[in-house]
Structure 1
């Protein structure tokens, strides 16, 4: 009889401190259950986060009874795919085991105990209790935040971050099941997938667990890929085996924009060699591709270039955080939707950040299908991590499990040791404070690379981000390896991005508030202002609003109203990221990637995200679509002189003419030049611009090549003589909404329709756009009909720099 699995997804109750109980959801958490029962208010609304802080400090108990399990099986296991986090599991009052790691699964042998109606309990101790006790025992370690998340293997940002709420979860956050089986089962399958000389090779390394009666039985393993089969005999008593197939001329898997994403079913069947009976099956989708990390030294320093199938890739990336502060709520459909949004913005790489989780397989499945390269951090972020037991054993166990779990995915191209910890040791006074205590270096430079080399030699490992490749260079040296750029935003204007040409910009970002409707839904009764209580509560960054305002003051006059502040901070965010991406992208192949902080949010908050916590697109998202398109036209500077950068990351040559005009603010053409260009595939060329602005307060440069455009001023916006915006608006009904044709009577700078002000469900297909006098652009709005709009609503939802 094959292995049988019985989900334990219903019939659970959560017990309360007063002795009562409420229905519970599994997978889920105590916050989710308390919300469903109406016992707490939405922690994302108002300042409710503070009112539910007690939930994370409390201990909890979940109860259910086992369903009927198959009879006649030699072994029965109780399997928890994810326990969050410090748990004691009992069955009929018998303790099965204790856990202390959210990032791994647990399996308990319940043979002879598992019968229908048997009571099952999971006791969950507050993560604070565990972490604080371990800190007391091991001694203090430096941390970027004042909570001991570095003493427990749990999603670090549960304890709060500079973009996230403090919601310390507890529960069974991934599925629970009972497995019944005979003779043997596949404990793990580790497929090494390689391709060389036109032949795809799959070498499947198997770990087998046997029952006591199954010890004496020989087994058969069949590996099948694309109709090619290999059968291997596993001798009696053996608990490991290897099977290999070779697939001739496989179609290669490519990142999006470089080719297709063919996926092949890889199937492993374990059978009894004597009877031929099928015992267990493992099935995943794989892709044939090679990946290498180019770290060669050259005249510019040390490269960091991801190469797929021998082709260097410019990484158009985004950083990913957990999409919900209550991660059990993230469904496969939600993963797919969010990642499709990334792909539609031109993204080809998603970095899973080290303060979150190893995401569900549904995340990586979507990356496989969409051609999104996945960079996976091991889960260490912004702190020193003790290397003593029990943490060291937990770190090794979770790393081994997740490397094996995720390695079938062709989208996964890089294992990264940590986020900012090597940098922090050198620059954040950690070295002196530690006074020789362990802090994680042994993980990043020892344990983790050994595990990856042993289990997954098909992929590169890198010790951290930022990291220069060795202690011979500063960890955040832009000339070597990966770099993070946080002095910009924290202390400097975004124009300072122009001072560096990094080998790989792995983190940089600029804040802006979420969409207006997102703020209004989170703060329904508040008189919104930049410093109103609720708005400030939904700003978690240290002096976040101060940095926003100082950033605005560099470029704009002080906003007179909240609406102006809200709009201008979003403009500033888009311009900041455009400055960095366009500059660094123009230096390809010296700079081999930009990974914007960040794609998504986990709740409604002012943050660096392009998609806010309610899933609404900020202007930055639309700007990323321009910046991450295959072809980009921008004004840049080389050796003090203005040039036009023609950036062609497409697979075809790009030939054409760029028209550069010097215009007065009223649209009058004062000078013009044509730049003929031919740029090979995956290349950038720069061309001198001879046309110069004479009156920096009233003139601008405009470069056009086909549908691409860039605009340059020689002064800040608050110094430029913008005219009052004149626009003619012509709306027309359309499917699911309407179109809006906007004709500019004057120069209209950074026009934005905030569609969510028309209706919370409304979306526009266009972000910031600049129109010259006489030009017309047509936007499409969905989620609201013209008949639902009040007179003047459209004009009130339109914002432009001219009017702030």
Structure 2
């Protein structure tokens, strides 16, 4: 195959037939915003309010122009290939319309052999971004199209809606008899002792083709040859396939499917696993006691090759505002961070772009499970034929692209679609359609219509729930830590929960704002607000000034506020993850909101700031997700003088081997001083099980500083030891009301993602 790159110029106009303005050089893959930012000398889009520079582009037509100039030998085929056009498009050669449509995830290929030997102008016209209604400018504008709604503005994403040729665009010339357009799927036997691989491809005319399944060690496991014309179907059967497992549960063997003909090779990597969602032990009794009975909770435990897996990980959002900027190097760094934090699953949150193939290849290698959602989130999507036609096209392309990745553990229609702010149900045509597409093209991979489902839970995203009246009055001394809410709950999966906190001072000054804006930290400052510190999810999110008052009694300046906000995010994430692990096996998943960000946030819930900057809370999460650890259970993270802390020590064990009996020493740590509180002996804990053992009490006195810690140190295995940070609010004394919530509390439903 000869692959010819295409060089484009870019221009724009108010009307499709208008005179194109400002022709500039275009970068493909890319985005029109990036090209014009470079040509017009725009300031970095991520700093301050610079993202507003692109507002004028939303309602423009954009024209990518180039020239077809090629020759063909006898029998050769010329195909024009656009791997990603975002969003509505027309492709013309001279005055001939070659293709028209909409979508961002379906490759567009056109036979242009008829244009061989003559130079022909080629134009790609991109229409203004789709909007269901002109106002208000929010995510609902994306509710009648398949464009990711996060681009229209979210509590972690500015309103900046990409458009352009965001993936490769090229001309390919194929010799006679060459294969192209490989698709593949497989079926494992019930006993997992044999696999059948189905592969199809197109053929340029007639050809002799060979299909091979190459084993992880490079040997040919099975091979088939056939003569084909226009189209070829292969069926490869193999006994005793090496099975793919998630990290911590086995190895990650990967095969290569190869089709060869006329000197050309098509290759696709493939892994074999059986994925199921199964019921959580105890969930039926928890939710359906007595009569009248409702349905059982939705199954929320992942089972891979017959082995139940506790899913511990994070929600993944756009790596970049402009998806063309998501490079293999960025993916490598981010995925390694998740791996090093002991995660085994990433939820591809609905409402964002589908990642590049490299991302899924890397997850296959790492043993990182993927929960893949389609591009629907928090909207009432219509039942119209126009919308459903595009949705079916896009969903089919996505499923066929990703189904051979063993890391893809289950499909999901989208995010929070059964909730009040979306209004869809299991009878809504978009979700019935997505279920049908997944069943037709990947029926052996589970499908959920949305998240959360019955038994599962989203939220909260703040560290403290305050009484409504007192919050409005500015009294943050009372309230209840969200940790206490989780300890009372009995959910089958926590698939979104967050602990808000600030980015560091240095980060904010480098990527977000200058010193003047930094010092002027308040909800009316548009830079702080646009970068999600205030009025993102509620009035005070995500910076969390009320929580700083609740824990510390206040702050002195912006630096003090930022430092305290970070400290609280660190300690809360650690205790939240461990509490959810302690609730296994009723709980099958602990997945926080969120892992990363597509641009610089002054504050948020993420563990990693853009671009690939680790936050200190990532290390705390990694400690909480170690395969085996001694875990401290306490009622909360803030205490006041006169209270008594009651703590219990658990041994959490995700390993395939039993954890041995241990001895744990519990210490109060106040600066450099350590005071022993208890010595606790554990029994051995079975594989994939948890055990609760002894406890201790600690009276909170005046001698305990504002910040203190509890260390749980393991004598036999120091790597199992854990350290927990706490706050003593020095402005308060114990009262009956200190940690309770009475009356109405904040209802943030309209802000949920």
Residue 494 of structure 1 is matched in structure 2 by 482
Does the alignment pair 1:394 with 2:378?
A: no
Residue 474 of structure 1 is matched in structure 2 by none
Whole-angstrom CA distance in 1 between matches of 2:95 and 2:554 = 66
Residue 799 of structure 1 is matched in structure 2 by none
The 3 A distance-change label for structure 1 pair 90 and 439 is farther
Does the alignment pair 1:80 with 2:82?
A: yes
Residue 496 of structure 2 is matched in structure 1 by 507
The 3 A distance-change label for structure 1 pair 607 and 556 is same
1:309-388 equivalent positions in 2, closer than 5 A: 309-388=305-384
**Alpha-carbon distance, 1:652 to partner:** 2.8
**Alpha-carbon distance, 1:509 to partner:** 0.8
The 3 A distance-change label for structure 1 pair 243 and 28 is same
Residue 241 of structure 1 is matched in structure 2 by 233
**Alpha-carbon distance, 1:61 to partner:** 1.0
1:202-281 equivalent positions in 2, closer than 5 A: 202-206=196-200, 208-209=201-202, 214=205, 217=206, 220-226=209-215, 227-231=220-224, 233=226, 239=231, 241-248=233-240, 250-269=241-260, 271=261, 277=262, 281=265
Whole-angstrom CA distance in 2 between matches of 1:491 and 1:462 = 30
1:725-736 equivalent positions in 2, closer than 5 A: none
1:653-672 equivalent positions in 2, closer than 5 A: 653-655=658-660, 656-661=662-667, 667=673, 669=675, 671-672=677-678
1:634-713 equivalent positions in 2, closer than 5 A: 634-636=631-633, 642-655=647-660, 656-661=662-667, 667=673, 669=675, 671-689=677-695, 691-698=696-703, 702-705=711-714, 706-707=718-719, 708-711=721-724
Which of 545, 560, 575 pairs up with 2:540?
545
Whole-angstrom CA distance in 2 between matches of 1:151 and 1:534 = 31
Residue 753 of structure 1 is matched in structure 2 by none
The 3 A distance-change label for structure 1 pair 92 and 546 is closer
Residue 26 of structure 2 is matched in structure 1 by 24
Residue 514 of structure 2 is matched in structure 1 by 524
**Alpha-carbon distance, 1:35 to partner:** 2.2
Could you tell me whether the CA contact under 8 Å between 1:69 and 1:180 is conserved in 2? no
**Alpha-carbon distance, 1:400 to partner:** 1.1
1:25-424 equivalent positions in 2, closer than 5 A: 25-115=27-117, 117-127=119-129, 130-132=130-132, 145=138, 147-181=140-174, 182=176, 185-194=179-188, 197=191, 199-206=193-200, 208-209=201-202, 214=205, 217=206, 220-226=209-215, 227-231=220-224, 233=226, 239=231, 241-248=233-240, 250-269=241-260, 271=261, 277=262, 281-295=265-279, 298-301=284-287, 302=297, 303-422=299-418, 424=419
Whole-angstrom CA distance in 1 between matches of 2:410 and 2:276 = 9
Could you tell me whether the CA contact under 8 Å between 1:14 and 1:21 is conserved in 2? yes
Residue 612 of structure 2 is matched in structure 1 by 615
Could you tell me whether the CA contact under 8 Å between 1:65 and 1:116 is conserved in 2? no
1 or 2 for the larger relative contact order (CA 8 Å, sep ≥6)?
2
Could you tell me whether the CA contact under 8 Å between 2:461 and 2:497 is conserved in 1? no
Residue 734 of structure 1 is matched in structure 2 by none
**662-671 vs 312-321, which deviates more?**
662-671
Whole-angstrom CA distance in 2 between matches of 1:410 and 1:453 = 17
The 3 A distance-change label for structure 1 pair 69 and 657 is farther
The 3 A distance-change label for structure 1 pair 719 and 115 is farther
Whole-angstrom CA distance in 1 between matches of 2:156 and 2:166 = 22
Could you tell me whether the CA contact under 8 Å between 1:635 and 1:712 is conserved in 2? no
Could you tell me whether the CA contact under 8 Å between 2:182 and 2:202 is conserved in 1? no
Whole-angstrom CA distance in 2 between matches of 1:42 and 1:94 = 39
Whole-angstrom CA distance in 1 between matches of 2:235 and 2:317 = 37
Whole-angstrom CA distance in 2 between matches of 1:666 and 1:363 = 44
Could you tell me whether the CA contact under 8 Å between 1:254 and 1:260 is conserved in 2? yes
Which of 582, 588, 592 pairs up with 1:592?
588
**Alpha-carbon distance, 1:71 to partner:** 3.0
Aligned partner of residue 608 in structure 2, secondary structure:
coil
Could you tell me whether the CA contact under 8 Å between 2:465 and 2:482 is conserved in 1? no
Could you tell me whether the CA contact under 8 Å between 1:63 and 1:119 is conserved in 2? yes
Aligned partner of residue 406 in structure 2, secondary structure:
coil
1:442-461 equivalent positions in 2, closer than 5 A: 442-444=429-431, 446-461=432-447
TM-score, normalised to structure 2, is 0.83
Whole-angstrom CA distance in 2 between matches of 1:144 and 1:378 = 22
Residue 626 of structure 2 is matched in structure 1 by 629
TM-score, normalised to structure 1, is 0.78
The 3 A distance-change label for structure 1 pair 115 and 672 is same
**25-34 vs 188-197, which deviates more?**
188-197
Could you tell me whether the CA contact under 8 Å between 2:269 and 2:404 is conserved in 1? yes
Whole-angstrom CA distance in 1 between matches of 2:237 and 2:94 = 46
Question: Is there any run of 5+ residues in structure 2 with no aligned partner, and where?
Answer: 14-19, 288-296, 467-480, 636-644, 735-753
Could you tell me whether the CA contact under 8 Å between 1:316 and 1:349 is conserved in 2? yes
Whole-angstrom CA distance in 1 between matches of 2:126 and 2:67 = 17
Whole-angstrom CA distance in 2 between matches of 1:621 and 1:189 = 38
Residues matched between the structures, number: 671
Aligned partner of residue 157 in structure 1, secondary structure:
helix
Aligned partner of residue 169 in structure 1, secondary structure:
coil
Whole-angstrom CA distance in 2 between matches of 1:698 and 1:308 = 51
Question: Is there any run of 5+ residues in structure 1 with no aligned partner, and where?
Answer: 272-276, 432-437, 469-479, 722-804
Whole-angstrom CA distance in 2 between matches of 1:661 and 1:337 = 36
Whole-angstrom CA distance in 2 between matches of 1:115 and 1:295 = 63
Could you tell me whether the CA contact under 8 Å between 1:320 and 1:352 is conserved in 2? yes
Could you tell me whether the CA contact under 8 Å between 1:498 and 1:579 is conserved in 2? no
Aligned partner of residue 606 in structure 2, secondary structure:
coil
The 3 A distance-change label for structure 1 pair 86 and 711 is closer
Post-superposition Cα deviations, 1:439-491, rounded to whole Å, max 9, x if no partner, equal 982222x22222222211231111110112xxxxxxxxxxx2x3212375695
Q: How big is the alpha-carbon RMSD for the aligned residues of Structure 1 and Structure 2?
A: 3.0
Does the alignment pair 1:568 with 2:564?
A: yes
Post-superposition Cα deviations, 1:155-210, rounded to whole Å, max 9, x if no partner, equal 2212111111111111100011223333574434122153665634142142x446
1:424-503 equivalent positions in 2, closer than 5 A: 424=419, 427-428=420-421, 430=423, 441-444=428-431, 446-468=432-454, 480=455, 482-486=456-460, 488=462, 491=465, 493-495=481-483, 496-503=485-492
Whole-angstrom CA distance in 2 between matches of 1:394 and 1:351 = 24
Whole-angstrom CA distance in 1 between matches of 2:568 and 2:434 = 39
Aligned partner of residue 112 in structure 1, secondary structure:
helix
The 3 A distance-change label for structure 1 pair 443 and 697 is farther
**Alpha-carbon distance, 1:392 to partner:** 0.5
Whole-angstrom CA distance in 2 between matches of 1:400 and 1:285 = 19
The 3 A distance-change label for structure 1 pair 187 and 649 is same
**Alpha-carbon distance, 1:294 to partner:** 0.7
Aligned partner of residue 418 in structure 1, secondary structure:
coil
Whole-angstrom CA distance in 2 between matches of 1:246 and 1:144 = 54
Could you tell me whether the CA contact under 8 Å between 1:225 and 1:245 is conserved in 2? no
Aligned partner of residue 575 in structure 2, secondary structure:
helix
Whole-angstrom CA distance in 2 between matches of 1:204 and 1:688 = 56
**Alpha-carbon distance, 1:232 to partner:** 5.4
